[in-house]
Amino acid sequence: MRPGFPRGDWLRRIIVAVAVAALALSVFAAAASGRGKPGDPAPIPGGLADDLTAVPVDPFVHVLLPSVPFEMATINDFSGMIGAAEIQGTAHGSDGSSYTFDVDMRFMQGSYIDAAGRLQHGSFAFI
Amino acid sequence: MGDPSTQVHDFEPGIAPSGLFWTVPIEPGAIKVDPVTGEARLRVQALKILDFHDILTALGLIPGPAPLPSRVSFDVRWAGDGAPVDLHDATFGFMGHYVTGPATISFTATNDAGDVVYSSDATGQSNPGTPAVGTEQNGLFFH
């Protein structure tokens, strides 16, 4: 009689291997979630500190003013066309209400390195 | 920037878990740009967005109402034809060539659950800073 495979052991090994792979995948996914998924652009490293001063790293928010001479892109590892403006004015509601507005509007269109480290091309609006 | 204490609407897409700030992908055709003259146009229709009520609530600095699902349409125009500006900033790691010029906007905004349409007025708009259009490189593309 030919010795058979210890099927119980193999099954347990396969289950353990799958479980380890799933755990590794979930750990990787958790680590990567803060950086975004493939295709997602990364934020610029600089921005505004909580006292609204411009800082090159570790900001409170990853954005600077929509005006030269500041960095107007919000996407890091970016090369392309950009437009930015702060615009103030008045607005009205269809119910007869009136308001003032202050908007920061930008666009970015070009190449960038995504969260997975791949070169991408995309178009983005900043609202 | 306006006084946040009197703000009643704050339409923006929010901050991504990565920290990417108020930036969303759009169709390539939404952007028309001439980096030589500095003229550009950004047109988006019925973009799904949130109304955070005010920027302090949006940034999590104060407790506020839950954001309201909303839609905005906008048409931003950069006139260009201003002074050219070249920047090379090693501290912030970016460089670019820009053409300055005034910018204006036409927008409508609505809360999905509301019936009021908020519309910008065409006259009397101004730019507190120096709007610009151009080309920019940062991060790995900065040298």
Cβ of A124 under 8 Å from any chain B Cβ? Answer: yes
Contact B134, B98 (CB under 8 A): yes
User: In this predicted structure, which of A8-12, A56-60, B84-88, B93-97 has the lowest mean pLDDT?
Assistant: A8-12
Kindly tell me the burial class for residue A76, based on how many C-beta atoms sit within 10 Å of its own C-beta (0-12, 13-18, 19 or more). Answer: buried
What does each of the 127 residues of chain A score in pLDDT, given as a tens digit?
344 434 444 444 434 444 444 434 333 343 444 566 789 999 999 999 999 999 999 999 999 999 999 999 999 999 999 999 999 999 999 999 999 999 999 999 999 999 899 999 999 999 9
- Number of structural domains, chain B? 1
Extended beta strands in chain B, E state: 11-12, 23-25, 31-34, 39-51, 68-78, 84-89, 94-100, 103-111, 118-120, 132-138
Distance CA B35, CA A82 (A): 8
Give domain status of residue B95, yes or no: no
Query: What CA–CA distances, in Å, run from A18 to A14, A15, A21, A25, B115?
Result: 6, 5, 5, 10, 53
Structure tokens at B58: 């949006």
- Interface predicted TM-score (ipTM) of this complex, two decimals: 0.95
**Chain A residues with CB inside 8 Å of B70's CB?**
none
Give domain status of residue B32, yes or no: yes
**Chain A residues with CB inside 8 Å of B59's CB?**
61
Distance CA B92, CA A47 (A): 9
Q: Classify each residue of B33-44 as buried b or exposed e, where b means 16 or more C-beta atoms within 10 Å of its C-beta.
A: bebeebbbbbbb
Q: Which residues form the domain of B51?
A: 4-80+102-127
Cβ of A55 under 8 Å from any chain B Cβ? Answer: no
A 68-87 residues with CB < 8 A to B: 68-69, 71-87
Give domain status of residue B91, yes or no: no
Q: A13 CA to chain B: closest CA distance, Å?
A: 37
Structure tokens at B119: 């519309």
Give domain status of residue B143, yes or no: no
Give the number of other Cβ atoms within 10 Å of residue B122's Cβ: 11
* Contact at CB, B141 and A94, closer than 8 angstroms: no
* Contact at CB, A41 and B42, closer than 8 angstroms: no
Mean pLDDT for chain B overall: 95
Q: What is the pTM of this model?
A: 0.85
- Delimit the domains of chain A by residue range: 1-33, 39-126
Cβ of A67 under 8 Å from any chain B Cβ? Answer: yes
Q: What is the pLDDT of residue A52?
A: 92
Tokens 């055709």, residue located: B29
